[in-house]
Amino acid sequence: MKVLRFPDPRLRVKARELKIIDKETRKIFGQMKELMYEEDGIGLAATQVGIDLRFFVFDLSKEERKPQVVINPIIISKSDEKIVFGEGCLSIPGLRVPVERSKKIFVKWIDEKGNEIQKELSELESVLFQHEIDHLEGKLIIDKLPEEERKRIIKEIIEL
């Protein structure tokens, strides 16, 4: 398993709902958690490893590893208040993009044990969820840039 790099077209796939959590999906969750750590990331969406299912792994803990799995996330509401955060992406190494997102969101998802979670998230956790959900919709941080800047960056990435 490896992280897909832009401009791989699989990064643009809209993920399908994950309907069954079984031994195979749990194995994939574990592989993705390890890959996220190997790549020094804080989040990794299934679409970033070529799996078109709606889930991602993340870990915002500071010292101990406390990875979590988010399955079929749905943003129920977003605050009008915004936050701008310099976001990076494992699929576009070396790029940091200032992205404006809702400061708070209310989200519903299923954890890896099959429990439904509903939670209000703010600050970095809110940004991370919005970023990873974008991946599940086939969207990347470069899509948030003004058109001219996006074209310039895409050209630079492709020429590397």
Per-residue tens of pLDDT for the chain, all 160 residues: 999 999 999 999 999 999 999 999 999 999 999 999 999 999 999 999 999 999 999 999 978 899 999 999 999 999 999 999 999 999 999 889 999 999 999 999 999 999 999 999 999 999 999 999 999 999 999 999 889 988 988 888 877 6
Kindly state which CATH superfamily the domain 9-159 is placed in.
Answer: Peptide deformylase (3.90.45.10)
In the sheet with 104-110, reading across from the earlier edge strand, the strands are 43-45, 55-58, 68-78, 104-110, 116-122
- Say whether 87 is catalytic: no
Domain ranges across the chain: 9-159
Does residue 36 contact residue 45 with C-beta atoms inside 8 Å? no
Three-state SS string over 79-107 comes to CCCEEEEEECCCCCCCCCEEEEEECEEEE
Q: Which of 132, 148, 149, 156 is catalytic?
A: 132
**Angstrom distance (rounded) from CA 112 to CA 10:** 24
